[in-house]
Amino acid sequence: MSEPPVPLTYAQPGTVQYLDPNRPSAKATAALVCGFLGFLHFGAGICAIIIGRRELAAIDAGLSSPLGRGRARAGMVLGIVGLVFCVVFIVLRVVAQIASEVLRNPRFG
């Protein structure tokens, strides 16, 4: 038989939270999913960074399962990389638009 979840004693007064040490937390998975979506929209990348950072802090404080550390960290890294790609894409798009306008204008050609 499996062991029952370990109750956390530092929950809000009047409530009991349970930490299942055999499963990564949903927040770690959310950070990973947002990290993947960060390549499509930089808002998701920002969410991945924020959720991943908070989840890593919760894991370090013992409030969340340590099995989610890899997912949270991967979500943060993917969020950062996706955010950088989105910023580079926006800058290249603006530069291309400016170059197109300059080439169309007969005063500059």
Q: Which pLDDT tens digits describe the chain residue by residue (109 residues)?
A: 566 655 555 555 666 555 667 788 899 999 999 999 998 888 999 999 999 999 999 999 988 888 999 999 999 999 999 999 999 999 999 999 998 888 887 776 5
Domain membership of residue 55 (yes or no) is: yes
Tell me the whole-structure pTM to 2 decimals: 0.73
Domain membership of residue 97 (yes or no) is: no
Domain membership of residue 51 (yes or no) is: yes
Domain membership of residue 94 (yes or no) is: no
Domain membership of residue 70 (yes or no) is: yes
Would the CA dihedral through 86, 90, 91, 95 be positive or negative? Answer: positive
Residues 37-52 have pLDDT tens digits of 998 888 999 999 999 9
Domain total for the chain? Answer: 1
Structural domain that includes position 53: 6-84
| Structure tokens belonging to residue 8 | 């956390």
Domain membership of residue 98 (yes or no) is: no
Taking each helix axis from N to C end, the angle separating 69-104 and 42-60, rounded to the nearest 10 degrees, works out to 160
